[in-house]
Amino acid sequence: MSWKKISIPLALTLSLTLMLSLPLAAQQNVRINILAMRMGSTEYIEAQTDEWIEQYEEEHDVNVTVNWEYLEEEDLRPQTVQDMAAGTGYYQIAQVGTQHLPLLAENDWIVPMEDYFTEEYNSDEFVEAVVSTASYNDKMYVVPIYHEATHLIYRHDIFNELGIEVPTTLTEVTEVAKKITEETDTAGIVLRGQRGAGLNHVSWKQYLQAFGGKWLENNEPPFNAAFNSEEGIMATEWYTNLIRNYAPQGTQTSHWRDVMSTFMAGEAAMTIDATSIGRRIVTDDASEVIGKTSFSLFPTGPDGRYPWYFSWNLALSKVGTRKGMTREVAADYILWATSSEMKKEMMLEIGTLPARTSTLESEEAKEYYGQEGMSNWLENTIESLQIEEAGENPVIAKIPQWPAIGDTLGIQLERIFTGSVSVEEGLNQAARIIDRDF
């Protein structure tokens, strides 16, 4: 039989039979594993995820599963590095702090998120402080869940009772802390003392800069320590004097959680810490100092005013998203989680400071943060985020080796604060180790 003589109906029947005999293309399944720290903002994003999945699956031919895994801050960073450096790629998204961004970006372990920015994402709304802490080599690799600066948090009821002016310099902070400690049952101040990332050396570095010191002679290897200079010794003596003599007993090795809980319990009259901690102090139901607390800018030192800028961010793992359309799905999830709409929802629902000007300067923000007991938190936070000196943010957001260098110094700082070594001895010991190992 000639193929030319097959009737059209027969040809259609044969074609249909052939099509039915072929296996249908399977719908792709994408699993997104996220490594994060349990905090209000991450839990809020997780709680809204099912809505995003439903919408995403309607618009794309894919089945999506999102799994959040939580670790404590001290474990989150090494686990993230290990997963990426070893090429395991179990996690597609990781929560990354400012100080670990250079390490991940320099080693090409994360994908620049700015490559996925759309017009609707409105990335130009991010405040400048956020852009600087989320970028490496002028490229925005990560996007913020939330951000913070530091400011002076103080008990205005105690200040008013004693007739004390709010300190504007570091010298005045010492004088006020001494007066309150000597004349009341409340300690003058509480500060971070525990070694580790995000703890004592991050807090200490802002005073190092304020006294005119610097971490390193330059930001290129081989690194030579500079923090054991005369300025560095003065800054560390200032910090050590406060934490030993005018802080509550037993707080010389305080974690930031301890600083917050100590202040919330009414055991200290001042702290210089994150704006996010300030917000929790005046909103948390467990706080005993709501309505008694106000805020002021980071006090100036001999060389200026240098509050830290910090952001917790979502990063897209390169090795974790190398298969199929996983990278596109994970990137879309990050953009949704940090969108303008989500930022506003998070502010109104859980009070997280938005990293976008459209939200930060909105009427909703003024109404929310203007509620009774929050004092001048919003105005002071916005002003703190605009301090140009701090925007330079040396070392912490520039060199991949910073976490290890910081940890080396943090060990010696804790020894100094607890009296195990003198200020000069501890700084010199850290400098010798850094000069040798880096």
Q: Which residues contact 160 (CB under 8 A, 6 or more apart)?
A: none
In terms of Cα–Cα distance, which of 354, 392, 397, 318 is closest to 98? 397
Lowest mean pLDDT among 2-11, 60-69, 214-223: 2-11
Which domains, from first to last, does the chain contain? 28-146+310-366 (3.40.190.10), 150-308+382-437 (3.40.190.10)
The tens digit of pLDDT for each residue in 391-420 reads 555 556 577 887 788 889 999 999 999 999
Q: What are phi and psi of 149, to 5 degrees?
A: -120, -170
HEC states along 57-75?
Answer: HHHCCEEEEEEEEECCHHH
Take residue 332 and report the two structure tokens written for it. 């879309």
Cβ neighbors of 324 (< 8 A, separation 6 or more) are 28, 30
pLDDT tens-place string over residues 330-373: 999 999 999 999 999 998 888 888 888 888 888 988 888 888 88
How many helices and strands (H and E) does the chain possess? 19, 11
3-class SS string, 361-387: CCHHHHHHHCCCCCCCHHHHHHHHCCC
Q: Among all chains, which residue has been given the structure tokens 């089945």?
A: 63
pLDDT in tens, 187-203: 999 999 999 877 898 89
Backbone angles phi, psi at 111, to 5 degrees: -95, 130
User: What is the b/e burial string over 51-60, where b = at least 16 CB atoms within 10 angstroms of the residue's CB?
Assistant: ebbeebeeeb
CA nearest neighbour of 272 among 179, 184, 206: 206
Taking only the tens place, the pLDDT of each residue in 249-272 is: 999 999 999 999 999 999 999 999
State mean pLDDT over 291-309: 94
Tell me how many degrees the CA angle 209-214-218 measures, rounded to the nearest 5.
145
Phi-psi sector, 127: left (phi>0), alpha (psi -120 to 50), beta: beta
Residue 381 near residue 295, CB atoms below 8 Å: yes
Give me the pLDDT at residue 221, please.
Answer: 80
Token pair belonging to 111? 């994908």
pTM above 0.75, yes or no: yes
Q: Return mean pLDDT, the chain.
A: 89
Instruction: Give the H/E segment covering residue 145.
Output: strand 143-148
